[in-house]
Amino acid sequence: MAETVENPVFSLAIDAMGGDKAPDIVVAGLDAATERHPGATFLLFGDEAKLQPLLARFKRASRSCTIRHTPDAITNDTKPTMALRMRTSSMRMAIDAVHRGEASGVVSAGNTGALLTLSKIVLKTLPGIDRPAMAAISPSARGDVIMLDLGANVSCDTRNLTEFAVMGDVFARTVLGLTAPTIGLLNVGSEEGKGDDTLRNAAEMLRRSHLGPQFHGFVEGHDIAAGTTDVIVTDGFTGNIALKTGEGALKLIGQLLRQVFSSGIASRIAYLLARPGLDRLREWLDPRRYNGAVMLGLSGVVVKSHGGTDALGFAYAVDVAMDMVVHRFNDHMRAGLGKIVEIRSQPTDMTQTPDLAPNAGEMKAGSNDGPDSAGAGSVAAAG
């Protein structure tokens, strides 16, 4: 992550009731986050009767948190359409606080589909953004890799993919501290002729944009773990499958290692000898270090913590929100989008398609006001 700025002066809105183990792990996580970011304050939205005893236990959190009582909570089973009607839920009121300017960002471990839909409706997208995208950090052989979209948009056109590239570039600079992150488009092959028109047109636009020097070209599935590029851009359908496949592979490796090192006396002795290295591997691949998927492209910082995380994992999600706010993520995003718009308006020798037309998608129904363009139905499986 990018280096923490000392004593940032801002507030984050926290959905205290979202997640499998809320509100306990939320308050415990804020206690850890407060130690690392002593200047930050938190607006804690949730059931006051449950939150007060927790704050009494976690003294650091009690000094940085202000409770805002909410009578309702959105569960994992709540459909996005129902969540829209729950105006007094902890998630909705936390997002409202960002909209009113009381908080600089929101962190929630609650229902993914509801969080994206509510954020899209309440906060709206940044000017020039067609659709928001979900991004997250994962480990690779060369370091951390950012991947987007991870489920917010099942299908994407050329405009969406180029905007995702801008979002990924700014996110890598803001959170990972990279000065010139490399960018790849996920495809079925690395050759220029591979893929459909949408991918090929997006690649051409990126080559002609301000991101041209950073654009690596097409990458394949194995390039994600190899760390071939710092940012992987794809549609939400493909990205979500790749994410879940990677998570499954890591779980399988862990299970196989446990079987190997518990199969006999010699294996147990081998485990004792290899334990220091295995401990380092476990720490490197610890999913809590990579907790905190971000809804990029919204007029406000929105971070989604994994619903089943613990206090340390939630604290990492808070760290991501801190980095985005302190390093003015959305300001840099606006600047990058302006450069992409300039490229769209330039004449090109390529055969024009609706994907490449200037301002394509801006007249889509619900592009800034409804759950259709947010892909609310597709993110429910994103975890």
pLDDT averaged over the chain?
83
More confident residue, 342 or 203: 203
Residue 229 in 3-state DSSP?
coil
* Torsion over CA: 94, 99, 100, 104 (sign): positive
pLDDT computed for residue 349 by the predictor: 46
pLDDT computed for residue 339 by the predictor: 72
| Residue 284 burial class via C-beta count within 10 angstroms: exposed 0-12, middle 13-18, buried 19 and up | exposed
CATH, domain 11-249+281-382, list 3.30.200.20, 2.60.40.420, 3.90.1650.10, 3.40.718.10: 3.40.718.10
- pLDDT higher than 90, residue 86: yes
Instruction: Please write the tens of the pLDDT for every residue from 175-189.
Output: 888 999 999 999 999
Peptide bond into 144 cis (omega under 30): no
More confident residue, 375 or 160: 160
- pLDDT higher than 50, residue 376: no
| Residue 363 burial class via C-beta count within 10 angstroms: exposed 0-12, middle 13-18, buried 19 and up | exposed
Least confident among 9-13, 25-29, 144-148, 353-357: 353-357
Residue 41 in 3-state DSSP?
strand
- pLDDT higher than 70, residue 201: yes
- pLDDT higher than 90, residue 194: no
Peptide bond into 23 cis (omega under 30): yes
pLDDT computed for residue 286 by the predictor: 66
Instruction: Please write the tens of the pLDDT for every residue from 245-254.
Output: 888 888 888 8
Residue 337 is encoded by which pair of tokens? 């989008």
What whole-number percentage of the chain has pLDDT above 90? 45
pLDDT computed for residue 344 by the predictor: 61
Stated as kind and residue range, the H or E segment containing 118 is: helix 112-123
- Using CA atoms, how far residue 240 sits from 134, 149, 306, 334, 368, in Å, is 10, 8, 14, 26, 23
List of residues 6+ apart from 363 with CB closer than 8 A: none
- pLDDT higher than 50, residue 162: yes
pLDDT computed for residue 266 by the predictor: 83
As beta bridge partners, residue 335 has none
As beta bridge partners, residue 11 has 41
Q: Where are the domains of the chain?
A: 11-249+281-382
More confident residue, 287 or 27: 27
Q: How remote is the C-alpha of 188 from its chain's centroid?
A: 24
What gap in Å lies between CA 146 and CA 138, rounded to an integer?
Answer: 6
Instruction: Please write the tens of the pLDDT for every residue from 302-350.
Output: 999 988 889 989 999 999 898 888 888 888 888 877 776 666 665 544 4
Instruction: Please write the tens of the pLDDT for every residue from 41-54.
Output: 999 999 999 999 99
Please give the full DSSP string across 131-156, using - where no structure is assigned.
S-EEEEEEEETTEEEEEE-SSS-SS-
